[in-house]
Amino acid sequence: MKLSEISYYQTGGTCDLLTSPGSVQELADLMSRIHADQTPYFLLGAGSNSLVMDDHWPGIVVMFDQLKGLTTIDHQVIAEAGVSNTQLAEHCLVPGLSGAEWMYYLPGQLGATVRMNARCYGGEISGIVKTVTTVTQDGQIRQYDNKGIFLGYKDTIFMTNREVVASVVLTLKPGEPEEIRKQMDTCRKDREQKHQFVHPSCGCVFKNDYTAGVPSGLLLDKAGVREFSTDQVEISPWHANFLFNRGASARQILETALNMREAVYEMFGVWLAFEMEILGSVPKDLKTRLLESREPQLHESEIAPLRILFLSNQ
């Protein structure tokens, strides 16, 4: 099986082994074996924030599609890492639990949502997490409370210590099902109106650069990056930070993204950081460009009008 058949972005080659642990303990046992054998591996949840490369991966790919446990006790929800964000929001609707409405139609699975401290529509996962159970690189099971694990938007300790989020306990509040449903539908309609699901994508390719004070999508748009669109790789007409896969290889998508980053730096002096995670074997020529880092050289004369434009639209 090619990973393109299961990845959200529909890219990816083959791998030595594709495995789906069925419990937290099975995940711990797997990580212990991987560590002992020093086997190359990467994690693939829904893949909604990832670009899986085309070349064969000489190791293990770990999926979470069997970690789907989801139960409610009073105002708390216990959910495993493979539960989708939409599934969680729908689960909370039935007993009238409020706090997860913003996760409706947010692509991805809960484990990755917690790992990156996702935020949208006024909600943030750190605001409803009570505890997190993880598996370490060598197979130990650990539990954390909310304090100290969330460092900021799209920033947690799990992004550096490489522990795998396995399950989560969420604390929600009582709410009216009709009002919860209304907010869920608002989130869904907004994403649909922004054409986010027209073609496979990974959401925003680049993080916002707060030193510039302008969203990356606006920088990309004004840098004219849509000239890099091809029949296979389309930069969204509605949001310049979205790259649509219209039959492209991972290499074509990554090359386009790197060209987009270069264009923004040339015009604005902003070196954008990738939000899209690159999984698998990256060809050497692209890896050099991917890992390159440059100091910001902000072109204030070019950026200042964009700040005014952005603030006027708020």
Q: Is 13 a member of any domain?
A: yes
Examine residue 199 and state whether it is found in any structural domain, yes or no.
no
Can you tell me the mean pLDDT for 250-272?
A: 98
Residue closest to 250 by CA, chosen among 286, 204, 274? 286
Query: Do residue 144 and residue 98 come from a single domain?
Result: yes
User: 59 with 77, same domain?
Assistant: no
For residue 203, being part of any structural domain is answered with no
Structure tokens at 30: 């797997």
Give 308's pLDDT tier (boundaries 50, 70, 90).
Answer: confident
Going by C-beta distance under 8 Å and a sequence separation of 6 or more, which residues neighbour residue 27?
Answer: 21, 62, 67, 135, 164, 166
CATH code where residue 101 lies: 3.30.465.10
Q: State pLDDT tens for residues 104-127.
A: 999 999 999 999 999 999 999 999
- Structural domain contains residue 209: no
How many whole angstroms separate alpha carbon 14 and alpha carbon 12? Answer: 7
79 and 184: one domain? Answer: yes
Number of structural domains (the chain) is 3
Whether residue 81 is found in the same domain as residue 176: yes
Asked if residues 122 and 102 have their Cβ atoms less than 8 Å apart, the reply is: yes
What pLDDT is stored for residue 211 in this prediction?
Answer: 87
Same domain, 76 and 175: yes
Residue 271 belongs to some domain of the structure: yes
pLDDT reported for residue 312? 78
- Whether residue 208 is contained in a domain is answered as no
Please state, in angstroms and rounded to a whole number, the distance separating the CA atoms of residues 212 and 26: 45
Which residues touch 210 (CB under 8 Å, ≥6 apart)?
none
Identify each DSSP E strand in 22-67 by its residue range: 41-44, 50-52, 57-63
- The answer to whether residues 38 and 124 belong to one domain is no
Q: 58-98, pLDDT tens digit by residue?
A: 999 999 999 999 999 999 999 999 999 999 999 999 999 99
Asked whether residue 20 falls in the same domain as residue 96, the answer is no
SS3 content of the chain, % helix, strand, coil (to 5): 35, 25, 40
State whether 81 and 187 are in the same domain: yes
124, 104 in Cβ contact below 8 A?
no
Taking only the tens place, the pLDDT of each residue in 151-177 is 988 899 999 999 999 999 999 999 999
Residue 80 lies in a domain: yes
Does 125 share its domain with 54?
Answer: no
What's 242's DSSP letter? B
The pLDDT value given to residue 309? 83
Distance CA 283, CA 53 (A): 9
176 with 283, same domain? no
pLDDT of residue 220: 98
Domain limits at 290?
216-312
User: Are both 115 and 185 inside the same structural domain?
Assistant: yes
Asked if pLDDT for residue 289 goes beyond 80, the answer is yes
> Would 210 be classed as within a structural domain?
no
Question: 157 with 149: CB under 8 angstroms?
Answer: yes
pTM above 0.85, yes or no: yes
182 lies in the same domain as 84: yes
